[in-house]
């Protein structure tokens, strides 16, 4: 498989964040919500999730085929 430095960085950061949360999904979710609150306080606007669709945080190595 080809190395992709952007995906490699995403994987490194994702692993660090998970390790910082001690592998605890509740602690990780609390961190994400705190970061969102900080961003909102700075004026960052978030698009609403479409109704009836669960938000996804998956990253694909290749874009989906049309």
> Is 0.75 topped by the overall pTM?
no
Residue showing tokens 């669960």: 54
Distance CA 36, CA 42 (A): 10
pLDDT (tens, 9 = 90+) of the chain, 66 residues, equals 577 899 999 999 989 988 988 888 888 889 889 999 999 999 999 888 777 666 666 666 676 676
Q: Are 21 and 31 in contact (CB under 8 A)?
A: yes
Per-residue confidence (pLDDT) for residue 11, from 0 to 100: 93
Q: Structure tokens of 58? A: 């998956």
* Cα angle 41-44-45, degrees, rounded to a multiple of 5: 115
């Amino acid at each position: 498989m080809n190395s992709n430095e952007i995906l490699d960085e995403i994987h490194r950061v994702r692993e660090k964040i998970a390790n910082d949360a001690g592998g605890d999904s509740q602690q990780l979710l609390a961190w994400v919500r705190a970061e969102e609150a900080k961003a909102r306080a700075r004026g960052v606007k978030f698009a609403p999730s479409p109704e009836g669709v669960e938000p996804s945080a998956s990253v694909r190595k290749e874009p989906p085929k049309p």
